Structure 1
Amino acid sequence: EVLHRGIAGRAFERRFALADHLVVDGADLLNGLLHVGLKRVVPEALKPRRIAIGNAMQATPAIANDEQGAVQAA
């Protein structure tokens, strides 16, 4: 006895919850298979950023000059 099960001809629906910052880029139906393109779009506020750190020796003369000015003013 041969039993054959094919794809049902009736309508159906399937839903997926996408993660944050995922956008559907496109969809194609090819040979009965649905291909969905997804693209990750991260807002600028959540992207890692680089912060330049100055040399501590550069800030020291400005502090020393302020202290000398305060001593002379007194």
Structure 2
Amino acid sequence: MTSQNKAACEAEANEFTRVDSEFQSEISLKMEDVQILESCIQDLEDGIESLSKSLIKYRRSLLNIL
């Protein structure tokens, strides 16, 4: 293998390593986004459950008044 071919192969390997590294960091960022989204959804579900319980309590109170 000539030195030019060897240099070209090393450059390709370095480029591949760089692209792979960027891809892996993108995947980890996406996973963090998914975890944040899951946390937000859980917070919303908890809020809706609390609201629902409050509405049921208010309805019962209104029916008792009537």
Q: TM-score, normalised by structure 1?
A: 0.30
The structure richer in helix per residue is 2
The structure richer in strand per residue is 1
Which structure would you say has the larger Rg? 1
Name which structure has the greater RCO, CA cutoff 8 Å, separation 6+: 1
Q: TM-score, normalised by structure 2?
A: 0.31
